C-alpha cells in the first residue's frame, strides 16, 4: 500500500508546530524523514505524523524526548507504568515547591503594601511565629553561613528569610546583639519567641539611603522614644528581620521590620 507523503509546510499546518520544534524532534530521532533526491526536500509519511502525535502525547505527560525515543524502541506496559509513576511523583514535588514559592511571592507582595503604611511609622503588633533553630555570630560572618544551610531546604528556602538579629537593649539604647537562625510559621513550642505585644515599624537601610553607615543605634533610639511617649515598658530585647531588598543607582535599599517587645 502506497503511503501519503507530506512536505514540511504541510506537516507544520497539520500538527500546528513550528519549524524549530519539528527540527528539534528530528534531532532527537523522533522522526527520520526521507529526502527527495531531486530537490533535497524532506518528505514525511503517515508514520512520521503518528510518531509526532505520540511524542506530543507523552511530552504532555512530562516525558523527555530521550524517554519518548526509548518508548518508540519498545518497552513493556509495566515499565511504562513505572515511568509514569515516577513522572507523577516529580510533578507532585514540583507543585509543592511552586505552591511554596507562590506563598513567598504573596507574602512579599503583601509586605510591599505594608511598606506604604508602616515605613517610619509606629504601631503595636504581635511578633510572628518564629522558632529559633540555631545561632551564629553576625550578619557579615559569612564563613558561618554553612551553619544556616544545614537547616534549609535549598529548593525552597532563602538565607535572608532564615536569619533574625536580636538586640539586647535598655531604656538608653543598644547593649549587645546576636544572630538567630529561624523558622517561621512553626507551632508555638520549644524555641518559639513568645512576644505578643511589640512596638512595630519598618525602616530603610542600605547604601542608597544610608551609605555604609550603621543605623541600628538611631533606629532603636527613635523607636524607644516613641515607646516612652506612649508609656510603654520595654522587655529588654529587639528583633530585626530583612523583608525586602531592591536597588536604585546600583545601590541596595533594604527594608527591615523592627519588633521591640513591651509589657502587656
pLDDT in tens, 19-69: 999 999 999 999 998 887 777 788 999 999 999 999 999 999 999 999 999
Compute the average pLDDT of residues 147-157. 89
Domains of the chain: 5-74 (1.10.1660.10), 119-261 (3.20.80.10)
User: What pLDDT score does 186 carry?
Assistant: 57
Give dist(CA 235, CA 263) in Å, integer.
6
Give dist(CA 148, CA 196) in Å, integer.
27
Exposure of 167 by Cβ count < 10 A (0-12 exposed, 13-18 middle, 19+ buried)? buried
pLDDT tens column, 70-127: 999 999 999 999 999 999 999 999 999 999 999 999 999 999 999 999 999 999 999 9
Give dist(CA 264, CA 261) in Å, integer.
9
The predicted model scores a pTM of: 0.77
Amino acid at each position: 500500500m502506497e503511503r501519503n507523503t507530506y512536505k514540511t509546510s504541510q506537516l507544520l499546518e497539520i500538527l500546528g508546530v513550528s519549524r524549530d520544534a519539528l527540527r528539534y524532534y528530528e534531532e532527537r530521532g523522533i522522526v527520520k524523514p526521507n529526502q527527495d533526491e531531486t530537490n533535497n526536500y524532506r518528505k514525511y509519511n503517515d508514520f512520521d505524523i503518528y510518531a509526532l502525535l505520540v511524542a506530543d502525547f507523552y511530552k504532555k505527560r512530562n516525558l523527555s524526548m530521550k524517554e519518548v525515543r526509548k518508548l518508540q524502541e519498545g518497552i513493556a506496559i509495566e515499565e511504562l507504568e513505572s515511568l509514569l509513576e515516577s513522572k507523577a511523583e516529580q510533578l507532585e514535588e514540583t507543585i509543592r515547591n511552586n505552591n511554596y514559592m507562590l506563598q513567598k511571592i504573596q507574602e512579599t507582595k503583601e509586605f510591599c503594601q505594608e511598606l506604604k503604611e508602616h515605613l517610619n511609622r509606629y504601631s503595636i503588633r504581635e511578633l510572628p511565629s518564629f522558632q529559633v533553630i540555631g545561632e551564629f555570630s553576625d550578619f557579615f560572618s559569612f564563613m558561618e553561613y554553612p551553619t544556616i544551610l544545614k537547616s534549609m531546604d535549598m529548593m525552597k528556602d532563602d538565607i535572608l528569610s532564615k536569619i533574625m538579629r536580636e538586640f539586647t537593649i535598655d531604656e538608653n539604647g543598644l547593649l549587645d546583639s546576636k544572630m538567630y537562625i529561624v523558622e517561621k510559621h512553626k507551632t508555638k513550642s520549644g524555641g518559639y519567641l513568645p512576644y505578643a505585644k511589640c512596638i512595630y515599624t519598618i525602616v530603610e537601610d542600605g547604601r542608597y539611603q544610608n551609605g555604609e553607615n550603621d543605623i541600628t543605634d538611631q533606629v532603636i533610639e527613635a523607636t524607644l522614644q516613641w515607646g516612652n511617649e506612649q508609656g510603654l515598658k520595654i522587655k529588654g530585647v529587639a528583633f530585626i528581620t530583612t523583608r525586602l531588598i531592591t536597588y536604585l543607582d546600583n545601590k541596595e535599599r533594604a527594608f527591615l521590620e523592627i519588633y521591640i517587645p513591651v509589657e502587656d
